[in-house]
Amino acid sequence: MIRGLHRTTLLALAGVFLTLLAACDRPPQLPRLNDGDTIVAFGDSLTHGTGTTEDQAYPAALSRLIQRTVVNAGVPGETTAEGLERLPEILEEHQPKMVLLCLGGNDMLKRQDTAQTESNLRQMIQSIKSTGANVVLIGVPEPKLFSGAPDFYEKLAEEFSLPYEGEIFNDVLKDNSLKSDPIHANAEGYRVVAERLAELLKDTGALQ
């Protein structure tokens, strides 16, 4: 009898452990998006779609995949300081339910202070969340060989409990078949980005 109880306890503990492990692998969960909800993709040339047409940029590709309005609010060459200034107008105009935030690459190219880049992104996240919209953070790889996104992206994601995709552009830009130049994707690369983001949104519970 005691041996049977011991085995039952072990099985129960194993079940709890597996449940906790699965929860750790899941990104932070988000409210379900309704059909009429608007998503804003806010960023620079990687969001704008430099290297392909606007119809093949990742916001347009994502919109087709998830059957939701995804506004392309990407401005080539924009830094986080410029994005911080532009953001309130975009939020007021589109009143999004969700913002896909992907900025920082131009700060790195211009060798701007990393702490200031982090601060600008933090202020943008706070501004978006103050409207009631959710944020999905997308990391941008450093413009050098064998490097991923800087640590401050993951730090901010943990600070605000945000869904975070830190490898997507790093993976695409390491594959010559998926890029139009050293720092931009091509149409196929942006399609891969859209597919990965759609999967992330499903994992967060925002989409079925």
Q: Could you give the residue numbers annotated as active site?
A: 45, 181, 184
Query: Cα–Cα distance between 87 and 5 in angstroms, integer?
Result: 59
- What's phi and psi for 135, nearest 5 deg? -120, 135
Q: Is 51 left (phi over 0), alpha (psi -120 to 50) or beta?
A: left
Paired tokens of 53: 């047409």
User: E strands, the chain, where?
Assistant: 38-43, 69-74, 98-102, 134-138, 164-165, 179-181, 184-185
Stated as kind and residue range, the H or E segment containing 10 is helix 2-25
Residue 41 and residue 35: Cα distance in Å, rounded?
17
User: What is the identity of the amino acid at 47?
Assistant: T
Q: Name the nearest CA neighbour of 137 among 70, 41, 50, 14.
A: 41
Q: What three-state secondary structure class fits 123?
A: helix
